[in-house]
Amino acid sequence: MSDAAASAAPGALRALWGVVKFLRRRPWMVAGSVGLLLVNIGIELSLPQFLGNAITHLGRGKGAADSFSLFHLVAAFAGLVTLRAVIGLFLGPLRNTTAQQTLGDIRAAVYDALQRQTFSWHDNARTGELISRASTDVFRLQDFMFVCLLFSVDVTAGLLGMLAYIFALSATLGWLAVAAMVPTVGAMAFFAARLQPRWRKVHEQHSAMSTVIQENIAGVRVVKAFARESAEIAKFRGKRDAFLAEMFRTVNYWAARVPFAQFLFGLGVPLVLWVGGRQVIAGDMPLGDLAKAVFYLLALGGRIGVIGQVTNIIQNASSAAQRVHEILNAPVTLQGGTRPWPTESTAATVRFEHVSFTYPSTPSLLVENDAAEPPKPPDAPKTARRLALDDVSFDLVPGQTVALGGPTGAGKSTLLSLIPRFYDPTAGRVLVAGVDVREFDLRALRRRIGNVFQETFLFSASIADNIAFGRPDAAREDIIRVAKAARAHDFISELAQGYDTIIGERGISLSGGQRQRLAIARALLTDPRIILLDDATSAIDPKTEREIREATAELCLGRTTLIVAQRASTVRNASLILVLKEGHLVERGTHAELLAQNGAYRDLFATQLTEEETRP
Ligand SMILES: Nc1ncnc2c1ncn2[C@@H]1O[C@H](COP(=O)(O)OP(=O)(O)OP(=O)(O)O)[C@@H](O)[C@H]1O
Ligand SMILES: [Mg+2]
């Protein structure tokens, strides 16, 4: 066994066991499937007995009618075959349902795991890769379900039963059958060990191909804008060719072993015929018994072919199972506390105490395995990652509106993301309402914070549903109230379907400013105690921006607001302005104070302010 296979084996077994465990959720269906299957195997094992006995008796020619009733035998045979067919009629659907429902459970578990994962985990994972694992890899487990519910039982019970019967007929023939099986199974195992790592490779190539497809669909505008279609097509072809080449290599290798194994086993039949035939000639064995042994042996040969299939399915599934397992068992590194949100519904204080933060650099497994990633030169300098935030401290009183300014990449969005614990600080503490945010129940904390992200994501749903995302049971009046506050009501009313207009992929497209206004309405609807607005007004014209500001000022009453702003007009009215630069909090104060300092703030906004305004 190669090193790679040896090291992959325990992980693969554990991953497969993780899949099998899902079957325990449906114990009765599994018991029913396996129980009925065992009955059918029993019937199959008994049929050669009838045939063999008939042959022995019929061999006596004319006198046969005295020793047994041909009619009874034929009737019993026909009865068993009918019973087997009837059981099969129920067994098939039962097994399918069990397998599909279990796959459904696995899909749901993968989806849960993806939803529960942290921001940093998702930062390091690629969407195409995740989609491939959640859909294709789970689909690949389908055959494995049938291995668990059907083939494993069928092969084990079948092989043991047939061998037992052959031994009962003649120990010599029994050992001959074993002798034919050992090298066959050995050859299968030899191939199996070599195939396992290859299948994983095939699946990785498939994911890499999926990632290209996904990114090109999501980024189709960029591709077209830069007229890069042909380059992207070539890129896809490259990934596809790599996938196909790996696939062909593996499949050809795999296909070679079944005929080889069947050949090895096939040599056993003439051997049994030779040894058993001589026993019959010598009068040591009834003719019917030899016939039984040959029937069982032929049936064994069929099972050996199934072993080939099964090992193939298990290998194919084990790499898929490993990839699914990695998602299901990725530790969730950010756990919530237990503290509920304080009962008094006043605005909350926000306090940063010497907060530093670096984005985690841990490349997740999802990235590491990509064959397309160019290998890092061994002597690549290990530069320390820059702190996204460096020793930031400030204190906000309840209800205060604070503006965050600073050049791009200064850490403004990062600062906001620490308050709802999208990430935890590397050093220092973030306190909300006087409590370290890590102590809060995560849901309770996030539900009290309204987020308007820098990039607006809207779901393919109606406008009303999008606004009500955080409070699906909200009344229509409430939705309209927040839409008016966010100055979205007017443009929504002009749409033919109004609030029921479907947006996103299936529906109409909205402008950047319109999307932002929906995002503001969405955040306001949950009646948060803290509002985090990230660049929320940058895509809105000055008039609308002023309207939003007025309306939000009203809604911000009683809420602590942090607003990242690129516009001097937004910043200047804030009671406190924090200026970030390369992760440092370099200036703080009011508009007038900061202008007087003649520093970073003035540099940032000077071009936007008129002569008169710059005079403190
Ligand atoms: N998810 C992430 N993973 C790793 N690094 C990140 C991530 N997001 C931001 N950074 C880095 O952290 C630093 C601060 O980024 P941040 O997004 O907070 O800046 P910003 O002030 O919001 O900038 P902008 O005004 O352009 O939105 C930057 O150097 C950026 O490259
Ligand atoms: Mg930002």
199, 244 contact by CB (below 8 A): no
Indicate whether residue 604 lines ligand 1 (CB < 6 A). no
Indicate whether residue 123 lines ligand 1 (CB < 6 A). yes
Taking the CA of residue 535 as reference, the ligand 1 atom at the shortest distance is: 27
161, 174 contact by CB (below 8 A): no
Q: Could you tell me if residue 585 is inside a domain?
A: no
3-class secondary structure for 450-491? EEECCCCCCCCCEHHHHHHHHCCCCCHHHHHHHHHHCCCHHH
CB atoms within 10 A of CB 611: 6
Indicate whether residue 573 lines ligand 1 (CB < 6 A). no
Report pLDDT for 478: 92
Residue closest via CA to ligand 1's atom 5 equals: 359
594, 402 contact by CB (below 8 A): no
For residue 96, give the CATH number of its domain: 1.20.1560.10
Give the burial string for 502-514 (b: 16+ CB within 10 Å, else e).
bbeeebeebeebb
Q: How far is CA 402 from CA 383, 416, 577, in A?
A: 34, 12, 6
**Ligand 1 pocket: which of 120, 123, 359 to mutate (most atoms within 8 A of CB):** 359
pLDDT band of residue 554 (cuts 50, 70, 90) is low
Indicate whether residue 455 lines ligand 1 (CB < 6 A). no
Indicate whether residue 453 lines ligand 1 (CB < 6 A). no
pLDDT band of residue 467 (cuts 50, 70, 90) is very high
pLDDT at residue 6 greater than cutoff 50: no
Indicate whether residue 408 lines ligand 1 (CB < 6 A). yes
Taking the CA of residue 415 as reference, the ligand 1 atom at the shortest distance is: 18
CB atoms within 10 A of CB 180: 22
- φ, ψ at 348 (rounded to 5°): -105, 155
> How many residues does this entry show for the chain?
616
Indicate whether residue 412 lines ligand 1 (CB < 6 A). yes
Ligand nearest to the CA of 359: 1
Indicate whether residue 414 lines ligand 1 (CB < 6 A). yes
Taking the CA of residue 580 as reference, the ligand 1 atom at the shortest distance is: 21
Of the given ranges (37-51, 73-87, 369-383, 571-585), which has the lowest mean pLDDT?
369-383
Indicate whether residue 410 lines ligand 1 (CB < 6 A). yes
Beta strands in 162-250 (DSSP E): none
Residue closest via CA to ligand 1's atom 12 equals: 388
For residue 497, give the nearest of 524, 533, 465, 544 by alpha carbon: 465
Residue closest via CA to ligand 1's atom 6 equals: 359
Report pLDDT for 106: 93
Task: Give the whole-angstrom CA distance, residue 387 versus residue 385.
Answer: 6
Q: Could you tell me if residue 341 is inside a domain?
A: no
3-class secondary structure for 56-125? HHHCCHHHHHHHCCHHHHHHHHHHHHHHHHHHHHHHHHHHHHHHHHHHHHHHHHHHHHHHHCCHHHHHHC
Q: Could you tell me if residue 487 is inside a domain?
A: no
pLDDT digits (tens, 9 = 90+) for 143-170: 898 888 888 899 899 999 999 999 998 8
Q: Could you tell me if residue 543 is inside a domain?
A: no
Q: Could you tell me if residue 463 is inside a domain?
A: no
Q: Could you tell me if residue 236 is inside a domain?
A: yes
pLDDT digits (tens, 9 = 90+) for 518-533: 888 999 898 888 989 8
The amino acid sitting at 224 is: K
Mean pLDDT across the chain, nearest whole number?
83
pLDDT band of residue 7 (cuts 50, 70, 90) is very low
Cβ-Cβ contacts under 8 Å for 206 (sequence gap 6 or more): 132, 136, 243
The amino acid sitting at 167 is: F
Indicate whether residue 411 lines ligand 1 (CB < 6 A). yes
Q: Could you tell me the residue range of the domain that residue 231 belongs to?
A: 3-328
Q: Could you tell me if residue 230 is inside a domain?
A: yes
Torsion of CA 235, 236, 238, 244, to 10 degrees: 170
pLDDT band of residue 555 (cuts 50, 70, 90) is low
Report pLDDT for 2: 37
Ligand 1 centroid distance, CA of 124 (Å): 14
| Average pLDDT estimate for 479-488 | 89
Residue closest via CA to ligand 1's atom 14 equals: 411
pLDDT band of residue 374 (cuts 50, 70, 90) is very low
pLDDT at residue 538 greater than cutoff 80: no
Ligand 2 centroid distance, CA of 458 (Å): 19
Residue 158 CA neighbour count, 13 Å, CB half: 24
438, 428 contact by CB (below 8 A): no
Q: How many domains does the chain have?
A: 1
Residue closest via CA to ligand 1's atom 25 equals: 408
Indicate whether residue 388 lines ligand 1 (CB < 6 A). yes
Bridge-based pairing of strands 435-436 and 427-432 is: antiparallel
Please, which residues have CB less than 5 A from ligand 2, an ion? 413, 454
Ligand nearest to the CA of 410: 1
Ligand nearest to the CA of 412: 1
For residue 39, give the nearest of 153, 162, 160 by alpha carbon: 153
Q: Dump the DSSP string for 293-324.
A: HHHHHHHHHHHHHHHHHHHHHHHHHHHHHHHH
For residue 303, give the nearest of 251, 268, 254 by alpha carbon: 268
Residue closest via CA to ligand 1's atom 1 equals: 123
Residue closest via CA to ligand 1's atom 31 equals: 409
Report pLDDT for 505: 59
Taking the CA of residue 417 as reference, the ligand 1 atom at the shortest distance is: 18
**Structure token pair of residue 253:** 């290798």
**Structure token pair of residue 290:** 């030899």
Q: Could you tell me if residue 352 is inside a domain?
A: no
Q: What percentage of the chain exceeds 90 in pLDDT?
A: 28
Residue closest via CA to ligand 1's atom 2 equals: 359
